[in-house]
Amino acid sequence: MLLRRLAVLVLLLGAPGAASAQNYPDRPIRFLVGFVAGGAVDLTARTLGQKLGERWGQQVIVDNRTGAGGAIVMQIAAKAPRDGYTIMMGSSTQFSIGPATQTGPSPYEPLASFTPISQAVVSPIILTVNPSLPVRSVQELIQHAKTRPGQLSFASPGSGTGSHIAGILFGRTIGVELTHVPYKGGGDAIVALIGGHIPLSLGAISTALPHIKTGKLRALGVTEARRLSIAPEIPTIAESGLPGFEVSQWYGVFAPAGIPGSIAKKLNGELGNILALPETRDRLSSQGLEVVYVPSEPFAAYIKAELKRWTRLLKEMGIQGQ
């Protein structure tokens, strides 16, 4: 009996999951990001990746794989080894809003292909215009758009993103069709807006704020329910004549489904510690990102609820598959 117990103990200690969790991480970690460098998702990943690297003594390499509103990186991450050495910064675009717009088959199933590690931040969306556009408020933009039906276009970081849906909802709410122009990421959209190639944009405030401060862009409103502490002078779209208008987006860390539970728990705990650091909060909040740490299980439940909510809302408004 004693020998049998010893044999079971040896097997448990030698199990791959147990051994990898004990030594994890003992080599560099790849941190996948589905959007271009310089955007809010990328900024969040680099902030967390740097802190993970410092605390663990291992390099965390941010790997930007852009395209299709974050769908390309989802395919890559879903097929990655399930050992904790490939993680991904995911967003509401990829896990709730984007899937809610799909009408055809997908090469991955968001809720089955990934293990949610933790939510990290909420990223407010801001409506900005090129200063050459003769509007200084949401109401002025509405009047301007109504006198030019079908003539105004808006930029977003990509199709199926929260910014894309916010623009479509804005147009539907004011009764004017706005033409969507998707870019590979928020940085590219802002460059086009500043250059006058497009009149208005909806995107993460972290990308737009530096240019708002220098006067290169004009901010009209935020899609959050309340004004932002980092820019309290910018009104919400809801208070600007469209009560109830609200679109929020979040970012969080994911791993391929099937990652050992002990490694997922270790990642979750470390991310919780990092997000609680004053320097982490200060860096992210200075870019308009609100730290919202939610651990694995509640995060997974939240994603399911969000997917259900957006699927119902978009179906009711008839904007699925746009």
One of 3.40.190.150, 3.40.50.300, 3.20.20.140, 3.40.640.10 is the CATH number of 28-122+249-317, namely: 3.40.190.150
pLDDT per residue over 56-78, tens digit each? 999 999 999 988 778 899 999 99
Q: What's the pLDDT at 100?
A: 80
pLDDT per residue over 153-199, tens digit each? 999 988 878 899 899 999 999 999 999 999 888 888 999 999 999 99
Per DSSP, the three-state class of 92 is helix
The two tokens of residue 101 are: 């717009």
According to CATH, the superfamily of the domain at 125-240 is: Periplasmic binding protein-like II (3.40.190.10)
DSSP string, 185-214: SHHHHHHHHHTTSSSEEEEEHHHHHHHHHT
Query: pTM here?
Result: 0.81
Q: Which residue has the tokens 């301007």?
A: 144
Domain boundaries, the chain: 28-122+249-317, 125-240
Q: What's the pLDDT at 29?
A: 97
φ/ψ (deg, to 5) at 9: -65, -45
User: d(Cα 7, Cα 96) in Å, to the nearest integer?
Assistant: 46
The two tokens of residue 107 are: 């090469």
User: d(Cα 182, Cα 168) in Å, to the nearest integer?
Assistant: 12
Q: Which residue has the tokens 């109401």?
A: 139
User: d(Cα 220, Cα 130) in Å, to the nearest integer?
Assistant: 11
125-240 matches 28-122+249-317 in CATH topology:
yes
